[in-house]
Structures are given as structure tokens and as C-alpha cells.
Amino acid sequence: MPEVRFLFLGREEFNVLARTGVPTAEDIAEVMPSKERLAKGAVAMIECFQKIPCDPCYHSCKRQAIQPFADINDRPRLDHDKCNGCAMCLSRCPGLAIFIIDQTYSADKALIKIPYEYLPLPAEGHVVDAVNRAGQTVGEAQVVKVQSSEKLEGTNIVWLAVPHHLAMEVRHFKVKEVR
Amino acid sequence: MRYTEICIIGGGPAGLTAALKAAGLGAEVTLVDRNDYLGGQLIKQTHRFFGSKQQRASERGINIARELSAAVLNNDKIKVLTEATVLGYYEDGVVAVEQHDKFIKIKPQKLIVATGGAEKTLAFPNNDLPGIYGAGAVQTLVNVNGVKPGKKVLMVGAGNIGVIVSYQLIQAGVEVAAIIEAAPTIGAYWVHASKVVRAGVPIYTSHTIKRAWGDQELEGATVVKLDENWQPIAGTEIDFDVDVICLSVGLSPLTELLWQAGCKMAYVPELCGHVPLRNENLETSIPGIYVAGDVGGIEEASAAMMEGALAGLNAAKSLGYHAPDFAEQRAGVLKELEGLRSGPVGEKIRSGLAKVVL
């Protein structure tokens, strides 16, 4: 638990995420589904590393895969085995911190579902720049689908196909040659 | 002279909720706001809110503003005066208001002050160049008027406002060169910070602005790294070629009317300035004057709505209005507020509020 680590030391500056906004490999490892679970298909990854008063993800999960919050400041705890990657939580998270990963999408590609609130929206079939958590382009991704309905209230969901080795890296994308 | 049971000053999240709760109990309310719309800062908040279901988490502020305003305008217990500026509060309990060049006197039995906060600024050479704005102004331009403030922005301050306004600027198609923050850590919720960082905006903590440059208008800024004693480190300067500097360096409570009314005040750094002492009903040292929202200490919109609810309920109750579920309503609001302030990010607020109890 990163916050336990720095609170214990009494030195917030030890926390890289708090200084840069970029979660560390250690932070990520803590919320990553097991290899076995990833091998079974779509599953959510909740990249929420701070105790803040917020709980819409818990209320959005119909399968109760997100464990009940004793305190609204609790960080979400996801039971990866109960999660089927439905993405209900993804568009409800005010922090846009939830992603769906499907490592079983195809032999050479993984599918990532990303919450996206920028314009222009890409279209199915577009090739976009695949971007990591630090804002760096790490490769290319193909847009598989764009979900954009009134029900999503402005938080669109973009499905990206990326090479397997980038499934845990890519969390954003840039539409090429615009602006 | 106009008479009213409860006068509420400020039509933001706190004032609107106070009006609805007080009117819900049966009280007759007059709500005064200097803008030509209701909703306060909520009307610029296009992002989804944090918080609990009861505080309308995951909804966008702009939608909350629309709903609360409509509910207030459709409630015949509430009389709304917009484009009306409160000029003063007199010893005999009269609120002086200017509206459309007319001087209006309102005599309420109870007063709820929900005036919010004002943005702070920052001193540095050339901070008066055109192109240097407060974050609230940038948000008004972009989210209310649909005007880009410029092409490339340097954001000063990595609190929630600085980071969210950066996000909204990117959404509007404006480039954000960087966010700088003098403190060693990001003050905003980290999920917000992560969102803008992946969109390509670097955050420089322990950095401050050294000077802005430009002839007739802003052409750029020099930023410098700070050591652990917040002193600039020579040789660490970075130049940013930007046409906008957006200052998001905090707010202070807008308390002039409370001073004028003679409320007991205290300087509480955790609450961002001089704030009124108040009891658990949010009543100040002057009986019948209540406070709600940022005027009592800078917090955020969810807490402001809950405080508004509390002040509205208590003010109406003190006039003899009642509801069978009054105790439940009040306990529910108190529980929500406690939850909001209970975690590590609420520590500052908790310690500040402990100093202002009457």
C-alpha cells in the first residue's frame, strides 16, 4: 500500500505518484489482475491509489465485484474473479481511473477499453498513437469500437487493440494529425 | 422595506441547497445573487464530481447547477433576486441590496451567508501583463463564454482547480505546456493529475514562477526549482514560451458581510483565511446569522451543498418550521459531511474546523 509506506515514513515526497502524477510499477502491480485471471478474458483494473471520499464505482457494479466500502474514503478493492469486464464502473469513475483489459482478444493483440472525454472522437478502424501513463507515445493502436451514448453522459469508451506487451502500458491515445 | 423570513446571500451550491431545504420545511426565502444566473461556480464545472451518491457523485457540476437552479426557480416559497449585489448589513438587521440601479432594503428574520470565496493571486515580476489570468476567469471564458484564452498555457498550481482547469483547457483544444506547483507534492486528487499527465501535460512539483516576460502582452515565463526550504535553486530555470499564465493558487473566504455584522472571526490557515466561528447548526456568534460553504472555509462543492442543507434546515427550524423527518434529514446531512471530511485529504479541514467551534 503506497500511502501506508509514505505515511509511515512521514515524508510525502517519497511518493512518486504524489510528485509526478504517474503511478509507479509498484503501484500498478498492486491493482493488476493475476496472469491466470487475465488469461480468462476481460477484466477491470482500477488505478485509484489514494484515499479520497468517493464511491460511485462501488454503486455501479452490479456483480458486487467491488467490495463494500466501510468508509467512503476506502480505496476500491476489486474481486477480479467476480468481475466480467462489463465496464459499468468505467464510465462512472469521476477520476477516469478504471480500464478494462482483455488479453484474450486475439493471438497478437490485447483489447483495452479507455474512458475518453476529448474531441475529436476517433472512428472504428482508425489507427491512433498509443500513449502510456506518462503521456509518451509507445506505439500504435487500432480503434475497435467507440461507445458514445447519452447514457454515458459524455464519458465515451474507446476500445483499442494493442500488441500484448503494451496491454499494461497503454492508458491513453492521441488521434493522429489533428490540430 | 421588504420583509422575508430567511434571506440567503449567494446562489451557488451552498445557497441553492439552503434555499431548497428551508423552503422544504415551509419557510419563505429570499435568495440574492449578484450574477444574472444561479449556480455559482457550479456552472463551469464540466467534470464529474467525487463524493457519495447522496452528494450526487459522478454527476457533472453543470448538470447539478441546472437542476438546483430549476428547483429553486420553480419553488413558490423562494423569491430570487439576480443581478443583485448585497452592499451591506446594518445593525438593525437590514440587508442593503443594489439591483438594476435601485437600492433595496431587505429585513429578514434569519440570514444565511453563502458568499463563497475569492481567488488569490501571486506576486512576480510582470504579473500584470495581459494574458495572465486567474483560473476562475479562464474557466469562465472557456466553459461559459466559449472563448479560448490563448494558444498555450502555463498553469500555476497543482491543486484540484489547477489540474481540473488544465483538463478543461485540453478538452477545449488549448495546449497546456505544464503545471507547476511550489509544494513538493500535488494537491489535487491523484486521479485528476494522472488524467492530465497521460494527456501530455507534465507536472513540475517544487517549482515556482520566477518572472513573466513580454512587451505589450505575455510572451513567456521563467520557472525555477525550489529547494526544501522553498528557496529558488540558481541554474534550474526553465523557460516556457506561452501566451497565457493561469494562476490557481488558492481561494480565500469572502467574509466582508460577516465582519460588518460583527461576527466573531478567527484566522485559520487550514480554512484559507479569516472565517466566522460557528456552532454545529452553522449559526455564527450573531444569533440568526448562519454560514454555509466556502465563506466558512475553503472546501469543495459537495461539502458546500451539505452545509447549505444544514444551514437551511436549522434556520427554518429556528423559525418554528418542522417536518416529521427533520431529525433524520439533519442526521443524514451531518453523516455525509463527516464522511466527506473523514479521510486523509480531509485532515486539513478537520483540524481547521476544530478551531472555529463556538
Longest C-alpha distance within chain A, in Å?
49
For chain A, report the end-to-end CA distance as a whole number of angstroms: 40
**Residue B68 CB burial class (10 angstroms; 0-12, 13-18, ≥19):** buried
CB contact under 8 Å between A93 and B52, yes or no, is: no
Minimal CA–CA distance to A96: which of B356, B271, B199, B254? B199
Phi-psi region of A85 (alpha: psi -120 to 50; beta: other; left: phi over 0): left
The backbone torsions φ and ψ at residue B52, rounded to the nearest 5 degrees and listed phi first, read: -105, 170
Q: Which residue of A has its CA nearest to B170?
A: A118
CB contact under 8 Å between A51 and B51, yes or no, is: no
CB contact under 8 Å between A54 and B192, yes or no, is: no
CB contact set of B24 (below 8 Å; sequence gap of 6+)? B312, B316, B323
Say whether residue B204 is in contact with chain A using an 8 A CB cutoff: no
Q: HEC string of B82-120? A: CCEEEEEECCCCCEEEEECCEEEEEEEEEEEECCCEEEC
The CA distance from A54 to A147, in Å, is 25
In chain A, what residues touch B203 (CB-CB under 8 Å)? 20-21
CB contact under 8 Å between A72 and B343, yes or no, is: yes
Chain B nearest-CA distance from A107, in A, is 28
Say whether residue B52 is in contact with chain A using an 8 A CB cutoff: yes
The CA distance from B56 to B49, in Å, is 7
What is the model's pLDDT at position B20? 98
CB contact under 8 Å between A18 and B342, yes or no, is: no
* Pick from B190, B198, B345: CB nearest A17: B190
pLDDT in tens, chain A (179 residues): 344 444 434 444 468 999 999 999 999 999 999 999 999 999 999 999 999 999 999 999 999 999 999 989 999 999 999 999 999 999 899 999 999 999 999 999 999 999 999 999 999 999 999 999 999 999 999 999 999 988 898 999 999 999 999 999 999 999 986 44
Residues 133-172 of B with CB under 8 A from A: 170-171
The CA distance from B166 to A156, in Å, is 19
Cβ-contact B278, B284 below 8 angstroms: yes
CB contact set of A16 (below 8 Å; sequence gap of 6+)? A22, A24
Optimal mutation site among A16, A19, A168, interface B, most CBs of chain B within 10 A: A19
The backbone torsions φ and ψ at residue B102, rounded to the nearest 5 degrees and listed phi first, read: -115, 145
CB contact under 8 Å between A72 and B190, yes or no, is: no
The CA distance from A149 to A126, in Å, is 20
Chain A nearest-CA distance from B109, in A, is 36
Q: Are strands A109-116 and B84-89 parallel, antiparallel or unpaired?
A: unpaired
- The number of beta carbons lying within 10 Å of the beta carbon of residue A49 is 23
> Mean pLDDT in chain B?
96
What is the model's pLDDT at position B67? 96
Q: Which stretches within A25-102 are classed as H helix?
A: 25-31, 35-38, 56-60
Q: In the structure, how many helices (H) and strands (E) does chain A have?
A: 5, 7
In chain B, what residues touch A132 (CB-CB under 8 Å)? 198
The CA distance from B248 to A175, in Å, is 29
Say whether residue B192 is in contact with chain A using an 8 A CB cutoff: yes
For chain A, how many residues are written? 179
Chain B nearest-CA distance from A71, in A, is 7
Global pTM value: 0.93
What is the model's pLDDT at position A6? 40
In chain B, what residues touch A71 (CB-CB under 8 Å)? 339, 342-343
What is the model's pLDDT at position A14? 63
In chain A, what residues touch B194 (CB-CB under 8 Å)? 17, 21-23, 47, 95, 97, 133
Chain A nearest-CA distance from B121, in A, is 23
Cis bond before residue A120 (omega within 30° of 0)? yes
CB contact under 8 Å between A95 and B191, yes or no, is: yes
pLDDT in tens, chain B (358 residues): 999 999 999 999 999 999 999 999 999 999 999 999 999 999 999 999 888 877 788 899 999 999 999 999 999 999 999 999 999 999 999 999 999 999 999 999 999 999 999 999 999 999 999 999 999 999 999 999 999 999 999 999 999 999 999 999 999 999 999 999 999 999 999 999 999 999 999 999 999 999 999 999 999 999 999 999 999 999 999 999 999 999 999 999 999 999 999 999 999 999 999 999 999 999 999 999 999 999 999 999 999 999 999 999 999 999 999 999 999 999 999 999 998 899 888 999 999 999 999 9
What is the model's pLDDT at position B50? 87
Chain B nearest-CA distance from A176, in A, is 14
The CA distance from B124 to B86, in Å, is 33
Say whether residue B348 is in contact with chain A using an 8 A CB cutoff: no
Say whether residue B335 is in contact with chain A using an 8 A CB cutoff: no
In chain B, what residues touch A73 (CB-CB under 8 Å)? 339, 342-346
Chain A nearest-CA distance from B259, in A, is 33
* pLDDT tens digit sequence for B201-253: 999 999 999 999 999 999 999 999 999 999 999 999 999 999 999 999 999 99
CB contact under 8 Å between A73 and B344, yes or no, is: yes
Say whether residue B66 is in contact with chain A using an 8 A CB cutoff: no
The DSSP code for B232 is: B
